[in-house]
């Protein structure tokens, strides 16, 4: 295997990281808010991949033969992504109002939102996820994972609370109980889109598998859209001052366009494309839809985080996305080059298909 | 004997019965290659690939369903818009009269209703469903098509005796049985 992709990925990580490091000298808050916004995208891929792998362990299905290798590779993103959260953890007061003594004084939920408890919860999430990731990666692909059902329950709980802690608490006055599942919906969609893209570009899919993956993508789009729209509808109908402000910040100015673009590019457009079967079964069409979904999901993550923090959009967000993407791809390529697939792909596909 | 468009079973023909769907698909492929075009398949469940072999891609049904969905969505939204904005404007909680987020769920429900009704009726039409009798029902063993046999009906071609050709294409035995179907 050529070393060139590995060097390119490592270079991207270095360039993105260097931009953020230089920026941190002048404006650490801007770098950190861009960092957290892009972190929301990249941490979703390994988490969504773990949920999809457990779901496939429970249900089976021919789509697994195509998507499981890519999903397993994405689980390896988890350790570097957890390491990349350290800058945020080290500088909590830069991002989280509840970590600043003066602003936290009026908060009623300080029993939950305080630095020691926050660190403790984050440590629990990290340990649970790393344990589940090891349980996935250390097992043979063809064997069903006995941890699948408890793993899904654990992931549902921990990812919900992690999204409350890391992302929702940037606005500690605001709360939404559907928020966690909405984040999970986006993570499932992102992970499935990347796995489908890898499977299609890797040339491992037949028409039937592409059909199934497209149908699953359609379901993921519907789930994400339903959860996002329900939160919006309920908050909009209630029209309460402490709730609607979340949407006022996210629907005014340029962010309103970002919201409309996100609803189109992560909802209506790919849905319309995927219910049309020539797109559904074709390699090129499916790959294009997956790219669109991933780009729209990155935009959604920025839209969720950045308007909630002072300063709004920052160019450090794309730089951080580049750095994290480079780091994840470096780990992935390094893992592929040090542990080459010994079993032929055809046999693997057959085994997973029967699994 | 009159020939009814769509069914064709007032034609004379032959009926081949198969024990499993793959053998039926193989035979169907051989028949198509030999130039038989008036064919019909009867099976206990939908067999993938039959529609393609019979040149029956379902082109109309998806279009009807999409059109019904669009019509239902536009009509559903307009129903609420007309009620809330044009006919009886009512200020509820200071929200704008055109409360499009609140119209969303009902718009979706009416689109789904239109899709289901139109899709179901169109599906029945394409299956010729109101027609409860067809001469093919009199063919011996036809009732097995709703149990465990896969049947191909082959129309007799005018002015040709295909008996020998069919004997070659569909060798009897090994789960294949051929019957004459009277007009």
For residue range A7-31, what is the model confidence (pLDDT) as tens digits? 999 999 999 999 999 999 999 999 9
Residue among A251, A253, A252, A240 nearest B94 (CA):
A240
Q: How far apart are CA A72 and CA A66, in angstroms?
A: 11
Yes or no, beta carbons of B102 and A233 under 8 Å apart = yes
Contact flag B102-A232 (C-beta cutoff 8 Å): no
Give the mean model confidence (pLDDT) for residues A87-102: 92
Cβ atoms of A26 and A85 within 8 Å: the answer is: no
DSSP string, B89-130: ----TT--SS-HHHHHHHHHHHHHHHHHHHHHHHHHHHTTTT
Determine whether the interchain pair B102/A229 forms a contact, defined as Cβ–Cβ distance below 8 Å: no
| Mean pLDDT score of chain A | 89
Identify the pLDDT of residue B106.
Answer: 95
The helix (run of H) or strand (run of E) holding residue A55 is: helix A28-59
Which DSSP string corresponds to A127-140? HHHHHHHHHHHTS-
Q: Which residues of B touch A229 (CB under 8 A)?
A: 101, 104
More confident residue, A245 or A2: A245
Q: CA-CA distance, A155 to B135, in Å (whole number)?
A: 60
Quote the CA–CA distance of A197 and A270 in Å, as a whole number.
14
Q: In whole angstroms, what is the distance from residue A231 CA to residue A256 CA? A: 16
The most confident of the ranges A51-55, A72-76, A272-276 is A51-55
Exposure of A78 by Cβ count < 10 A (0-12 exposed, 13-18 middle, 19+ buried)? buried
Average pLDDT of span A315-338:
88
Q: How is residue A208 written in tokens?
A: 């039937």
- State how far the Cα of A198 lies from the Cα of A195, in Å rounded to an integer: 5
pLDDT tops 80 at residue A340: no
Burial B7-45 (b: 16+ CB within 10 A, else e): ebbebebbbbbbeebebbbebbeebeeeebeebbbbbee
Among A203-207, A216-220, B164-168, top mean pLDDT goes to: A216-220
A70 pLDDT higher than 80: yes
Pick from B101, B106, B107, B111 the residue to mutate for testing the A interface (most A CBs within 10 Å).
B101
Tell me whether A232 touches chain B (CB under 8 Å): yes
Count other Cβ atoms within 10 Å, centred on residue A76.
19
Minimum CA–CA partner of A232 in chain B: B101
Interface of chain B toward chain A, CB-CB under 8 angstroms: 62, 93-95, 101-102, 104-105
| Angle A77-A82-A85 from CA coordinates, rounded to 5° | 130
Measured between CA atoms, how close is B63 to chain A, in angstroms?
Answer: 10
Q: Mean of the pLDDT values across residues A213-230? A: 96
CA closest to A226 among chain B residues: B105
Per-residue pLDDT, B174: 55
- pLDDT score at B172: 65
Reported as a pLDDT band with limits 50, 70 and 90, residue A348 is very low
Please report residues of A whose CB lies closer than 8 A to that of B101.
229, 232-233, 236-237
Which burial class, exposed, middle or buried, applies to A209 when counting CB atoms under 10 A from its CB (0-12, 13-18, 19+)?
buried
Mean pLDDT of A158-186: 95
Contact A119/A127 with Cβ under 8 angstroms?
A: no
Whether the per-residue pLDDT at A74 is higher than 80: the answer is: yes
Token output for A294? 């991933």
Tell me the pLDDT tens digit for each residue of B116-150: 999 999 989 887 788 887 777 877 778 888 888 88
The residue among A62, A227, A232, A237 with the most chain B CBs within 10 A of its CB, best to mutate, is A237
Q: Within the 22-41 window of chain A, which residues sit less than 8 Å (CB to CB) from chain B?
A: none
The whole-angstrom separation of Cα A212 and Cα A205 is: 10
Which residues have a Cβ under 8 Å from the Cβ of B70 and sit 6 or more positions away?
Answer: B111
pLDDT > 70: what percent of chain A? 94
CB A223 within 8 A of CB A215: no
Residues of chain B short of pLDDT 50, as ranges, are: 1-6, 8
Residue A289's pLDDT band (boundaries 50, 70, 90)? very high
Asked if the Cβ–Cβ distance from A236 to B93 is below 8 Å, we say no
A271 touches chain B (CB under 8 A): no
- Contact predicate B17/B151, CB 8 Å: yes
Residue A239 burial (CB < 10 Å; 0-12/13-18/19+)?
Answer: exposed
Q: Is B56 helix (H, G, I), strand (E, B) or coil?
A: coil
For A96, phi then psi, to 5°, come to -105, 120
Could you identify the residue written with the tokens 């239109």?
B114
- Residues from chain B contacting residue A236 (CB–CB below 8 Å): 101-102
Global pTM value? 0.83
Lowest mean pLDDT among A127-131, A140-144, A163-167: A140-144
**Two tokens, residue B182:** 């009277």
Rounded CA separation A102/A111 (Å): 16
**Lowest-pLDDT range of A308-312, A322-326, B111-115:** A308-312
């Amino acid at each position: 295997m050529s070393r060139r992709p590995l060097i390119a990925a490592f270079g991207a990580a270095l360039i993105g990281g260097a931009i953020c490091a230089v920026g941190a000298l002048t404006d650490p808050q801007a770098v950190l808010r861009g960092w957290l916004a892009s972190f929301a995208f990249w941490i979703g891929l390994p988490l969504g991949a773990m949920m999809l792998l457990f779901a496939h362990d429970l249900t089976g299905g021919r789509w697994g033969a195509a998507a499981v290798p890519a999903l397993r590779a994405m689980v390896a993103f988890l350790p570097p992504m957890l390491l990349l959260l350290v800058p945020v953890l080290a500088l909590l007061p830069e991002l989280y109002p509840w970590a600043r003594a003066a602003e936290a004084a009026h908060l009623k939920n300080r029993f939950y939102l305080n630095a020691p408890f926050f660190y403790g919860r984050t440590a629990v999430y990290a340990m649970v996820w790393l344990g589940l990731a090891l349980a996935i990666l250390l097992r043979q692909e063809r064997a069903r994972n006995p941890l699948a059902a408890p793993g899904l329950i654990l992931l549902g709980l921990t990812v919900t609370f992690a999204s409350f802690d890391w992302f929702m608490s940037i606005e500690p006055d605001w709360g939404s109980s559907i928020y966690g599942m909405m984040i999970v919906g986006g993570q499932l969609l992102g992970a499935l889109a990347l796995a489908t893209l890898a499977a299609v570009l890797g040339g491992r899919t037949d028409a039937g598998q592409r059909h199934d993956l497209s149908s699953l993508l359609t379901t993921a789009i519907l789930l994400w859209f339903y959860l996002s729209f329900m939160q919006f509808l309920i908050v909009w109908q209630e029209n309460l001052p402490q709730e609607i402000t979340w949407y006022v910040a996210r629907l005014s100015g340029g962010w309103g366009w970002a919201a409309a673009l996100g609803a189109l590019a992560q909802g209506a457009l790919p849905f319309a494309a995927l219910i049309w079967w020539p797109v559904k079964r074709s390699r090129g069409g499916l790959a294009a839809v997956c790219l669109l979904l991933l780009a729209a999901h990155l935009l959604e993550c920025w839209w969720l985080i950045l308007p909630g923090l002072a300063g709004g959009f920052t160019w450090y967000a794309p730089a951080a996305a580049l750095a994290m993407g480079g780091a994840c791809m470096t780990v992935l390529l390094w893992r592929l080059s040090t542990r080459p697939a010994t079993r032929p792909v055809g046999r693997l596909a057959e085994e997973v298909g029967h699994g | 004997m009159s020939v009814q468009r769509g069914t064709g079973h007032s034609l004379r023909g032959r009926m081949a019965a198969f024990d499993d769907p793959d053998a039926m698909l193989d035979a169907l492929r051989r028949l198509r290659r030999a130039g038989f075009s008036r064919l019909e398949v009867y099976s206990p469940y939908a067999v993938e690939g039959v529609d393609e072999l019979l040149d029956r891609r379902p082109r109309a049904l998806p279009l009807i369903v999409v059109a019904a969905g669009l019509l239902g969505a536009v009509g559903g939204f307009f129903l609420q818009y007309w009620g809330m904005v044009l006919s009886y404007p009512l200020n509820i909680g200071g929200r704008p009269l055109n409360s499009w987020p609140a119209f969303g769920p009902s718009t979706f429900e009416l689109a789904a209703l239109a899709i289901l009704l139109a899709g179901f009726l169109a599906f029945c039409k394409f299956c010729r469903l109101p027609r409860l009798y067809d001469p093919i029902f009199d063919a011996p063993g036809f009732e097995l098509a709703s149990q465990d046999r896969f049947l191909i009906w082959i129309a007799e071609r005018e002015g040709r005796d295909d008996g020998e050709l069919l004997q070659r294409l569909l060798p009897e035995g090994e789960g294949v049985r051929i019957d004459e179907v009277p007009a």
